């Protein structure tokens, strides 16, 4: 199944031929339009990052328990975890990030991310698209923008989600469905992992597969003939491209996590975080431009300490391994690794020992791709209540990431209704983060 | 949802504590049962009910209930335990003798084992013969034949429909009542229907006020023949847990009582409403000491209702409405203090009562309607005789029954009006509005240490346990003393005084090493420490039996006395080291917890503060590690932590084939203001240079020796030595050394940690915040121009 993974499309249940069985609905595709570039003036910045690995932590991770501990605040603020020194002089991370602390000199830590969307759905949209949610328009995710601007590279889809789209807002928004992410559909941490549609389903031989594909083409063709909507054709070409992957040996190999040395798999960790990040590294190494991976559920309204103890060690191992591995391979300078989330969590622990949603200030972390190494940008003050200095907005973050990829955020794309819309509006390239 | 607990004078239990109140029957001699199992959990009774006057074997099922079971803790009379025998670790078989006069309805029970006391489940005692469902009975032709006057125990499996056939004579009353949600097992919203011999549905019930989410109905057979009772889930769901008890018989099944209450000892003439065979009047002698959950099972020559109708027994007279009283010109007169009682008999009906009142003498008006099973969603309003509304209320504390307090603006007559929220009405829309003088009362409850798990007191021999009491004062203030009475022999309870400005207090229970292994109910109460302020106390404990979506309570049991059990000794005892020095505002402290371990037990013990005094927070994820004997619980105080002496206690839990909980003793934590006040300046320094950070001190509390002051949060590359000051110092001077690569910028989180010693203990205070700005060294003019150029280019 490519693209939309939301359980039920809001637009309806009318399905497009055999594609319907894959969860796509006609309403979705009819609503889509090709986005043509509008002709405003822009200057493409030089390309600093060839690819992006976006590690998205759904639910909203607590900065206090990860990258922005408050060891001097009372326990109700600082929580129950200790802070440990990092390789950035004078800066501390949570005790749950010992390995990441050891490579902090390769990281850019932004401790003053701020927005005003403290509900999950809205926070996700804001962080994945760089736009505040609008009832009028669904905006494309950064990955889809990259896919739209650059297209595939070395036979690999430009935008890949590991293992699935972390949210419906990781999709192409108003852009054509052709720019939706290719989702693995299976967890690389699982034994017997297989990329969906990349391998023939068990019991299906080559001849039967070809027959099926011809039948699908026939059904789809009748829809393309009868409807002039762009959506059907777009999906068709998207599927075409995805099916073509099967024939491409190099692409197939990129998805083959078993080809990775056992020691390397151990280094990343034989868990979800580790194998997903290792898969992401393989994919960008092979040519993918934008890989979004998600790990964990960080909506810790209850018992944040225990939940962080459960989830963080795997992240710590995998993330430190990813950054070091990329650096050792000489890939870190042109691969931008971004760790982001929906929003942060309340300054004080609640009655249940958890923290609730807090969008006013939280942390994101970047590495490579022209980001300044060993840098802490901004501060959340003594109690992580609001940015004390250098507030950074999701628009700024998106603009900065796109800038490193060589995409000018002020470039206009054509949204439905022939409306030219900036890729990201109102953001600034944050030089503090860059070399 | 209120418990449906009838005929039971709970006040008896509350008062008579000296004799051991609850029925405890020791049945097993345990050969020195060792502590080899943690708290038992009771999931299910098989069967869930039985007929009174019989002896029945009931299996009690749940993790660890079968490990050294000692007793059943039963709260109501009429059930005798003849034998109690473990089947396996998770099942115990009880032979129960139900007396001929055993109260009908719900009998809450718990299993007391050598190591714990289970949660509460309910046994349901009926008057009719028992039968079991025999599948298949889904289709009309498969209807299971049952005799009239039977209780069928059945299960509505997924999308299941159960049918039962009964023979009725012409004119015979058929009453059907189902206990489903009220069995407290799962969210099972049962519906019942009755089909006539031709297969036509002639009666249906999904929910009924007195039966809550369950159903009840009665009908008179229009002709002789074979009638079918149909049971299913209201949404055609169901599962293996959706069990029910279906009472099918000739018993009376009224749905409302009028008037729904009277005075203690009164001969109350009650009209039973809503029965298909017609209204019936019965004179009931109300008990002298009925509890808040008193109720009566309507009975006649053909049987008794399986579940009761609640009646209020309060020492105020009834003021029965006299229709017509639909407008303020025709009110029913009532005394100031009385129970305005009536029926919103027709849609749109309004009932008016006229009462005298005096200025300055407030009156509480509290409605009892839905609490008594009435469908009325009542509103109460107060008017003056000119028709101006002076007070009104719809819902109270999230429940549909209204409450308001009326302060009469002057001496005179006023009107009380009762109406339905959406102008519904009918013969069963009974209400009672009790007008009383506000009386000071303290509501006590035990905090749940685990959410949705009602707290029990399980105290191991030679050890301690603790509960947290919340005391909600209404119309009363001042300090009070919480008390525990009716404890088993060998068990003592300690509770500190509760100051007037706080509402939570711990009670620590301690059992002697030779305390008897017993279980029962105890009484919790409170007395004023200021003798001039007497008040009443109430206690209520909610046992969550069935929760709906978003944890909405669907069916609960409310007890008026908490349970306690003494269990076998456990292999560790916890002690909290009493701090000698205070915790100061903006300060921190390490509480020391030690464990005395028995040989052979070296498991980890989680320790956590039972509660935090105001402004204090604690680290609650610490453990005494495996094999170790102590742990530190760090606590901190905010700047506005409440100064004073606070009782604190730490509880610990270990996994010994289940969860074992004990506590430390109570110790006193003194919270004090910091010894000195600090003022933080803003200082600018230059990379590679030096500076001085001078902190003015305001000395508040003298201290011996020297206090160490340490600057925290200095920018990377800036260092300052620790400075020592004495009790008379007016400032602390920190020389700053600034490295050439010190981080440039404003650093606004400069704090100071003050450490001094009192009573050989460190007193630590961390205050802030100041600013140190690090500037780059001044640059030659040429270099500056270049930098500016670079800035433009970037």
Grouping H, G, I as helix, E, B as strand and the rest as coil, residue A355 is coil
- Do B664 and B741 share a domain, yes or no? no
Interface test with B, best of A70, A83, A85, A90 (most B CBs within 10 A): A90
Mean pLDDT confidence for A357-363: 97
Model confidence at A237, pLDDT cuts 50, 70, 90, reads low
- Do B231 and B166 share a domain, yes or no? yes
- Do B77 and B137 share a domain, yes or no? no
- Do B159 and B184 share a domain, yes or no? yes
- Which chain B positions have a beta carbon within 8 Å of A352's beta carbon? 451
Q: What average pLDDT does the structure give for chain A?
A: 84
Is pTM, for the whole model, over 0.80? yes
Contacting A with CB below 8 Å, chain B residues are 451, 586, 588, 617-622, 634-638, 712-717, 743, 746, 748-749, 751, 766, 768-769, 794
| End-to-end C-alpha distance for chain A, whole angstroms | 40
Backbone angles phi, psi at B778, to 5 degrees: -60, 140
User: What was the pLDDT predicted at A182?
Assistant: 85
User: What was the pLDDT predicted at A193?
Assistant: 77
Contacts of B207 (CB under 8 A, 6+ apart): B189, B213, B214, B215, B234
Calculate the alpha carbon distances from A153 to A158, A287, B651 in Å: 6, 5, 60
Domain that holds residue B140: 129-249
Within a domain: residue B375?
yes
Mean pLDDT confidence for A183-207: 67
Within a domain: residue B442?
no
Residue B622 has, within 13 A of its CA and on its CB side, a CA count of 25
| Percent helix, percent strand, percent coil in chain B, to nearest 5 | 5, 50, 45
Calculate the alpha carbon distances from A310 to A303, A313, A372, B619, B703 in Å: 11, 7, 31, 18, 44
Give the rounded percent of residues in chain A with a pLDDT score beyond 90: 63
| Residue B142: exposure state from Cβ atoms within 10 A (0-12, 13-18, ≥19) | middle
User: What was the pLDDT predicted at A257?
Assistant: 87
Distance CA B389, CA B353 (A): 14
| Residues B740, B688 contacting (CB under 8 angstroms) | yes
**Domain A40-191+263-433, CATH 3.60.10.10 — does that match?**
no
| Residues B572, B595 contacting (CB under 8 angstroms) | yes
Question: Is the link from the previous residue into B769 a cis peptide, with omega within 30 of 0?
Answer: yes
User: What was the pLDDT predicted at B14?
Assistant: 32
Q: Which long-range contacts (CB under 8 A, 24 or more apart) does A86-89 make?
A: A87/A374, A88/A374, A88/A375, A88/A376, A89/B716, A89/B717, A89/B743
Nearest-CA neighbor of A93 among A62, A65, A67?
Answer: A67
Distance CA B271, CA B256 (A): 8
- Which chain B positions have a beta carbon within 8 Å of A96's beta carbon? none
Nearest-CA neighbor of B465 among B661, B624, B655?
Answer: B661
User: What was the pLDDT predicted at A230?
Assistant: 53
Model confidence at A18, pLDDT cuts 50, 70, 90, reads very low
User: What was the pLDDT predicted at A11?
Assistant: 36
Within a domain: residue B311?
no
Question: Is residue A6 pLDDT above 80, yes or no?
Answer: no
- Do B336 and B428 share a domain, yes or no? yes
- Do B133 and B225 share a domain, yes or no? yes
Model confidence at A157, pLDDT cuts 50, 70, 90, reads confident
Within a domain: residue B47?
yes
Question: Is residue A29 pLDDT above 50, yes or no?
Answer: no
Backbone angles phi, psi at B759, to 5 degrees: 50, 45
Interhelix angle A206-226/A230-247, rounded to 10 degrees, is 160
| Residues A341, A56 contacting (CB under 8 angstroms) | yes
User: What was the pLDDT predicted at A217?
Assistant: 66
- Do B94 and B136 share a domain, yes or no? no
User: What was the pLDDT predicted at A210?
Assistant: 66
Query: Domain ranges in chain A?
Result: 10-37+196-254, 40-191+263-433
- Which chain B positions have a beta carbon within 8 Å of A349's beta carbon? 617
Backbone angles phi, psi at B675, to 5 degrees: -65, -30
Residue B2 has, within 13 A of its CA and on its CB side, a CA count of 24
For chain B (length 794 residues), average pLDDT per consecutive 10?
Answer: 35 34 38 52 96 97 94 95 95 97 96 95 97 94 96 94 97 97 96 96 94 96 97 93 97 97 96 95 94 92 96 97 92 97 96 96 97 95 96 91 96 97 95 96 93 93 97 93 96 95 96 96 93 88 93 93 96 96 96 96 95 93 94 94 96 90 97 94 94 95 94 93 95 95 90 94 92 90 53 43
| Out of A26-30, A132-136, A422-426, least confident range | A26-30
Q: What is the CATH number of the domain that holds B65?
A: 2.60.40.10
Residue B132: CB atoms within 10 A of its CB come to 11
Within a domain: residue B53?
yes
Q: What is the CATH number of the domain that holds B389?
A: 2.60.120.380
Residue A387: CB atoms within 10 A of its CB come to 19
Helices (H), A93-229: 98-102, 120-129, 142-150, 206-226
Mean pLDDT confidence for A314-340: 97
Give me the residue label for tokens 């503060």: B609
Contacts of A136 (CB under 8 A, 6+ apart): none
Residue ending a domain, among B84, B104, B126, is B126
Within a domain: residue B451?
no
Residue B245 has, within 13 A of its CA and on its CB side, a CA count of 29
Residue B75 has, within 13 A of its CA and on its CB side, a CA count of 30
Q: E strands along B437-585, which residues?
A: 441-446, 457-460, 464-474, 480-485, 491-494, 497-498, 504-511, 519-521, 523-528, 536-539, 541-547, 553-559, 563-567, 572-576, 583-584
Residue ending a domain, among B227, B249, B271, is B249
Helix (H) or strand (E) holding B618: strand B616-618
User: What was the pLDDT predicted at A184?
Assistant: 81
Angle at A388 between CA A382 and CA A389, to 5 degrees: 145
Question: Is the link from the previous residue into B324 a cis peptide, with omega within 30 of 0?
Answer: yes
What would you measure as the largest C-alpha separation in chain A, in angstroms?
68
Closest approach of A75 to chain B, Cα-based (Å): 6
- Which chain A positions have a beta carbon within 8 Å of B749's beta carbon? 72, 379, 381-382, 388
Q: For residue A352, what is the nearest residue in chain B, using CA coordinates?
A: B451
- Do B57 and B115 share a domain, yes or no? yes
| Residues A157, A3 contacting (CB under 8 angstroms) | no
Helices (H), A73-119: 75-78, 98-102
- Which chain B positions have a beta carbon within 8 Å of A381's beta carbon? 748-749
Domain count, chain B: 5
What's the token pair of residue B367? 């409605």
- For residues B479-508, b (16+ Cβ closer than 10 Å) or e, as one string? ebebebebbbebbebbbbebbeeeeebbbb
- Do B616 and B703 share a domain, yes or no? no
Closest approach of B546 to chain A, Cα-based (Å): 22
- Contact status of A105 with chain B (Cβ, < 8 Å): no
Give me the residue label for tokens 């209201």: B234
* CB nearest to A75's CB, from B619, B712, B748: B619
Closest approach of B747 to chain A, Cα-based (Å): 9
Within a domain: residue B222?
yes
What is the value of ipTM here, to two decimals? 0.73
User: What was the pLDDT predicted at B691?
Assistant: 94
């Amino acid at each position: 199944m490519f693209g939309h993974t939301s359980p039920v499309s809001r637009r309806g249940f009318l399905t497009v031929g055999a594609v319907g069985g894959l969860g796509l609905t006609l309403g979705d595709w009819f609503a889509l339009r090709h986005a043509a570039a509008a002709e405003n003036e822009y200057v493409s910045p030089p390309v600093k990052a060839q690819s992006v690995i976006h590690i998205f932590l759904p639910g909203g991770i607590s900065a206090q328990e990860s990258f922005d501990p408050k060891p001097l605040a009372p326990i109700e603020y600082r929580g129950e975890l200790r802070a440990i020194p990092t390789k950035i002089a004078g800066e501390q991370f949570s005790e749950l990030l010992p390995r990441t602390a050891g490579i902090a000199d390769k990281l850019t830590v932004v401790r003053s991310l701020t927005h005003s969307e403290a509900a999950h759905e809205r926070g996700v949209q804001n962080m994945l698209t760089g736009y505040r949610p609008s009832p009028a328009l669904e905006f494309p995710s950064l990955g889809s923008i990259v896919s739209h601007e650059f297209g595939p590279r070395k036979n690999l889809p430009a935008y890949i989600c590991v293992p699935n789209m972390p949210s419906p807002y990781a999709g192409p928004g108003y852009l054509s469905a052709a720019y939706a992410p290719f989702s693995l559909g299976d967890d690389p941490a699982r034994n017997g992992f297989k990329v969906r549609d990349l391998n023939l389903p068990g019991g299906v031989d080559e001849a039967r597969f070809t027959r099926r594909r011809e039948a699908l083409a026939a059904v789809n063709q009748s829809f393309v003939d009868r409807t002039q909507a762009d959506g059907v054709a777009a999906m068709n070409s998207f599927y075409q491209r995805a099916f073509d992957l099967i024939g491409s040996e190099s692409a197939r190999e990129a998805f083959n996590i078993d080809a990775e040395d056992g020691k390397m798999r151990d280094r990343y960790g034989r868990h979800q975080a580790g194998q997903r990040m290792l898969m992401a590294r393989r994919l960008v190494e092979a040519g993918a431009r934008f890989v979004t991976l998600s790990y964990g559920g960080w909506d810790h309204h209850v018992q944040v300490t225990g939940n962080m103890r459960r989830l963080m060690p795997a992240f710590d191992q995998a993330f430190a391994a990813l950054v070091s591995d990329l650096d050792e391979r000489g890939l870190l300078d042109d691969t931008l690794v971004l760790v982001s989330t929906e929003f942060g969590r309340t300054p004080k622990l609640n009655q249940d020992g958890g923290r609730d949603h807090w969008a006013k200030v939280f942390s994101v972390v970047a590495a490579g791709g022209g980001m300044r190494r060993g840098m802490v940008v901004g501060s959340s003050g003594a109690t992580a209540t609001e940015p004390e200095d250098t507030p950074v907005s999701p628009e700024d973050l998106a603009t900065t990431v796109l800038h490193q990829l060589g995409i000018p955020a002020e470039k206009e794309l054509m949204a439905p209704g022939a409306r030219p819309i900036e890729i990201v509006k109102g953001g600034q390239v944050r030089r503090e983060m860059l070399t | 949802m209120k418990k449906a607990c009838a005929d039971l004078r709970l006040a008896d239990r509350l008062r008579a504590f000296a004799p051991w109140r609850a029925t405890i029957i020791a049945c097993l001699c345990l050969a020195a049962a060792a502590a080899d199992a943690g708290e038992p959990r009771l999931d299910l009774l098989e069967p869930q009910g039985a007929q009174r006057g019989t002896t029945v074997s009931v299996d009690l099922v749940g993790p660890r209930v079968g490990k050294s079971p000692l007793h059943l803790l039963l709260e109501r009379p009429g059930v005798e335990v003849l034998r109690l025998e473990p089947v396996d670790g998770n099942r115990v078989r009880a032979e129960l003798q139900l007396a001929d006069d055993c109260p009908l309805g719900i009998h809450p029970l718990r299993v007391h084992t050598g190591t714990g006391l289970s949660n509460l489940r309910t046994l349901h005692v009926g008057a009719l013969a028992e039968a079991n469902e025999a599948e298949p009975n889904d289709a009309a032709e498969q209807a299971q034949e049952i005799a009239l006057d039977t209780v069928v125990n059945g299960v509505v499996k997924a999308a299941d429909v159960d049918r039962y056939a009964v023979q009725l004579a012409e004119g015979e009353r058929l009453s059907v009542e189902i206990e489903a949600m009220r069995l407290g097992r799962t969210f099972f919203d049962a519906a019942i229907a009755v089909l006539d011999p031709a297969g036509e549905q002639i009666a249906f019930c999904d929910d009924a006020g007195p039966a809550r989410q369950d159903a009840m109905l009665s009908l008179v057979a229009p002709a002789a023949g074979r009638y079918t009772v149909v049971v299913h889930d209201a949404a055609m769901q169901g599962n293996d847990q959706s069990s029910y008890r279906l009472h099918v018989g000739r018993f009376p099944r009224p749905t409302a009582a009028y008037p729904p209450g009277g005075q203690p000892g009164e001969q109350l003439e009650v009209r039973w409403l809503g029965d298909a065979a017609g209204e019936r009047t019965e004179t009931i002698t109300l008990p002298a000491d009925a509890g808040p959950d008193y109720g009566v099972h309507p009975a006649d020559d053909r049987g008794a209702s399986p579940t009761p109708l609640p009646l209020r027994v309060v020492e105020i007279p009834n003021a029965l409405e006299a229709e017509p009283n639909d407008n303020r010109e025709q009110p029913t007169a009532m005394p100031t203090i009385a129970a305005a009682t009536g029926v919103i008999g027709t849609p749109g009906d309004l009932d008016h009562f006229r009462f005298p009142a005096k200025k300055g003498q407030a009156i509480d008006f509290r409605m009892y309607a839905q609490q008594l099973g009435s469908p009325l969603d009542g509103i109460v309003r107060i008017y003056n005789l000119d028709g101006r509304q002076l007070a009104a209320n719809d819902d109270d504390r999230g429940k549909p029954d209204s409450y308001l307090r009326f302060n009469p603006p002057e001496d005179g007559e006023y009107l009380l009006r009762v109406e339905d929220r959406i102008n519904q009405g009918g013969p069963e829309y009974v209400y009672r509005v009790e007008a009383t003088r506000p009386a000071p009362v303290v509501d006590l409850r035990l905090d749940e240490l685990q959410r949705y798990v009602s707290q029990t007191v399980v105290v191991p021999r030679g050890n301690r346990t603790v509960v947290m009491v919340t005391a909600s004062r209404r119309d009363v203030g001042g300090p009070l003393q919480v008390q525990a009475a009716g404890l088993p022999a060998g068990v003592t309870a300690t509770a500190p005084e509760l100051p007037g400005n706080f509402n939570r207090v711990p009670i620590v229970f301690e059992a002697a090493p030779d305390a008897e292994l017993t279980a029962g109910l105890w009484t919790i109460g409170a007395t004023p420490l200021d003798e001039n302020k007497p008040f009443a106390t109430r206690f209520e404990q909610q046992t969550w039996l069935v929760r709906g979506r978003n944890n909405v309570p669907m069916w609960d049991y409310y007890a008026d006395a908490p349970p306690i059990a003494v269990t076998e000794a456990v292999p560790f005892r916890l002690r909290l080291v009493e701090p000698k020095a205070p915790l100061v505002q903006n300060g921190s402290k390490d509480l020391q917890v030690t464990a005395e371990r028995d040989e052979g037990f070296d498991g980890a013990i989680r320790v956590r503060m039972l509660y935090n005094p105001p402004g204090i927070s604690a680290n609650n994820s610490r453990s005494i590690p495996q094999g170790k004997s102590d742990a530190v619980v760090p606590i901190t105080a905010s700047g506005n932590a409440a100064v004073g002496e606070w009782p604190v206690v730490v509880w610990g839990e270990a996994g010994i084939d289940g969860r074992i909980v004990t506590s430390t003793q109570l110790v006193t934590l003194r919270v004090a203001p910091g010894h000195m006040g600090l003022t933080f300046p803003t200082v600018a320094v230059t990379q590679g240079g030096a500076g001085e950070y001078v902190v003015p001190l305001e000395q508040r509390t003298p201290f011996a020796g020297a206090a160490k002051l340490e600057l925290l949060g200095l920018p990377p590359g800036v260092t300052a030595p620790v400075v020592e000051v004495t009790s008379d110092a007016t400032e602390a001077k920190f020389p700053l050394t600034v490295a050439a690569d010190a981080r440039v910028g404003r650093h606004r989180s400069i704090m100071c940690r003050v450490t001094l010693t009192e009573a050989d203990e460190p007193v630590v205070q961390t205050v802030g915040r100041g600013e140190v700005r690090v500037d780059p060294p001044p640059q030659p003019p040429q270099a500056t121009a270049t930098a500016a150029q670079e800035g433009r280019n970037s």
